[in-house]
């Protein structure tokens, strides 16, 4: 590939500086928040649920793109040219695409799992954990295969917009490459969202039916409340994913079909949707923490300093040594009173004459 391909297009200094700041912020937030979530999910037993493997899958994918891809684009943006060659471009595009696909397929997997649990609850006790593993494994394998297709020759990963990060080639005139974009759009966007819409339509209909049948109990039941919170949290994930990726998907489709002239050569039009999509590795942890009280409590417990808590608790209470002395003195006093009150031993307590 011609070396000029890796040179950044002419853009304002402010544009590059703001882009570098954005990428650095995504790296710090994405890495920190997802590590915290993974620590909470693995360490805090009080939030152990059958949804944890799905949340671990999402946080793992988000952390992967934060650590394994974002530093490449940040360093290249600061340098204003792609520094890692064709193989580095392929790696960056593959990891970014793989993580993004894992996000949407995992969210679709969560929706489908809730559908099976609530709407089709038969034999759930014997198959739930295994089913969860199968769904997550399928999500990762499906995303891996779809991400490898450009590496194997169906389309390719090329520098994008500012030429400081890489993505699939959506500005190509090659019909084979365009066919991949159509296939990708259908299989990695339309199909997952069809599963999500179907699952939640059936799920909400079932929940409302149960609510009508047991209106007095279900509305106040713990299970119903938790299910509603889970639906709210997952729905928020879906909305955020759509908000983050839809502008970029529109740009890709414009570049693939008849509106290519509107974005080709327009760095800002290509860059802003791409930068907005890169925020997707940061918002899932914020959704967990914002909408899940168990996560909030676990976060507080995780960062609670034992020494500080112990010190604060001792401010209003005597030390352990003092407590020990007081306890022993109290025991001795009680023993003396007991002996004094006991007629059989009272003569031992009379003063000598």
C-alpha distances out from residue 207 to 174, 212, 230, 237, Å: 49, 9, 13, 20
**Residue 260 CB partners (closer than 8 Å, separation 6+):** 171, 254
**pLDDT at res. 206:** 76
Tokens of 297: 């409590």
Specify if 125 maps to a domain: yes
Specify if 344 maps to a domain: no
Contact 46, 298 (CB under 8 A): yes
Specify if 320 maps to a domain: no
Within the chain, strands assigned E span 157-159, 166-168
Half-sphere exposure (CA, 13 Å, Cβ side) for 313?
Answer: 7
Spatial distance between the Cα atoms of 329 and 295, rounded to a whole number of angstroms: 45
Specify if 308 maps to a domain: no
Spatial distance between the Cα atoms of 39 and 33, rounded to a whole number of angstroms: 10
Strand partners, 7: 81
Specify if 194 maps to a domain: yes
Residue 85 falls in which region: left (phi positive, over 0), alpha (psi -120 to 50) or beta: left
**pLDDT at res. 144:** 96
Among residues 247, 235, 249, the alpha carbon closest in space to that of 186 is found at 249
**Residue 47: CATH number of its domain:** 1.20.1070.10
Specify if 85 maps to a domain: yes
Among residues 157, 182, 178, the alpha carbon closest in space to that of 95 is found at 157
**pLDDT at res. 213:** 64
pLDDT (tens digit, 0 to 9) for every residue of the chain, 353 residues total? 555 455 555 678 888 999 999 999 999 999 999 999 999 888 876 666 778 899 999 999 999 999 999 999 999 999 998 999 999 999 999 999 999 999 999 999 998 988 888 777 665 554 677 888 999 999 999 999 999 999 999 999 999 888 899 999 988 888 888 899 999 999 988 999 999 989 888 887 877 776 666 555 544 555 566 667 777 888 888 888 888 888 998 898 888 887 888 887 788 888 899 999 988 889 888 888 888 787 888 888 877 755 444 444 455 444 445 445 545 555 555 454 455 555 444 444 444 44
**pLDDT at res. 88:** 95
- Condensed to tens digits (0 to 9), the pLDDT of residues 236-283 reads 888 888 888 889 988 988 888 878 888 877 888 888 999 999 888 898
- Indicate the number of domains in the chain: 1
**pLDDT at res. 21:** 95
Range of the domain at 129: 3-303
Specify if 324 maps to a domain: no
Angle, helix 222-256 to helix 191-213, in steps of 10 degrees: 160
**pLDDT at res. 346:** 44
Q: What is the CA radius of gyration of the chain?
A: 30
Specify if 335 maps to a domain: no
Spatial distance between the Cα atoms of 71 and 118, rounded to a whole number of angstroms: 42
């Amino acid at each position: 590939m011609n070396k000029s391909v890796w040179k950044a297009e002419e853009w304002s200094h402010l544009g590059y500086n703001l882009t570098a700041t954005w990428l650095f912020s995504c790296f710090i937030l994405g890495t920190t928040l997802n590590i915290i979530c993974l620590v909470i999910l693995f360490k805090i037993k009080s939030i152990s649920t059958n949804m944890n493997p799905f949340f671990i899958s999402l946080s793992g994918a988000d952390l992967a793109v934060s650590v394994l891809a974002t530093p490449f684009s940040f360093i290249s943006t600061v340098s204003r040219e792609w520094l890692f060659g064709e193989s580095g471009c392929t790696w960056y595009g593959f990891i970014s695409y793989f993580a993004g696909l894992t996000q949407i397929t995992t969210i679709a997997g969560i929706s489908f799992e809730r559908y099976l649990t609530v709407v089709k609850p038969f034999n759930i006790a014997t198959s739930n954990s295994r089913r969860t593993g199968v769904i997550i494994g399928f999500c990762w394998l499906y995303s891996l295969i779809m991400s490898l297709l450009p590496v194997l020759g169906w389309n390719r990963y090329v520098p994008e917009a500012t030429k400081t990060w890489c993505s699939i080639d959506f500005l190509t005139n090659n019909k084979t490459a365009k066919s991949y974009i159509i296939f990708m759009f259908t299989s990695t966007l339309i199909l997952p969202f069809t599963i999500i819409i179907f699952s939640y339509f059936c799920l909400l209909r079932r929940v409302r039916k149960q609510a009508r049948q047991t209106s007095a109990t279900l509305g106040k039941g713990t299970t119903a409340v938790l299910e509603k919170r889970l639906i709210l949290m997952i729905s928020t994930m879906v909305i955020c994913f759509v908000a983050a990726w839809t502008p970029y998907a529109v740009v890709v489709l414009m570049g693939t079909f008849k509106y290519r002239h509107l974005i080709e050569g327009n760095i800002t039009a290509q860059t802003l949707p791409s930068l907005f999509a890169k925020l997707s590795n940061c918002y899932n942890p914020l959704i967990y923490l914002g909408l899940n009280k168990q996560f909030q409590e676990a976060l507080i417990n995780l960062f609670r300093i034992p020494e500080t808590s112990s010190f604060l608790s001792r401010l209003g209470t005597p030390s352990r040594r003092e407590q020990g002395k007081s306890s022993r003195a109290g025991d001795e006093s009680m023993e003396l009173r007991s002996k004094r009150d006991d007629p059989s031993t009272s003569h031992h307590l009379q003063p000598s004459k």
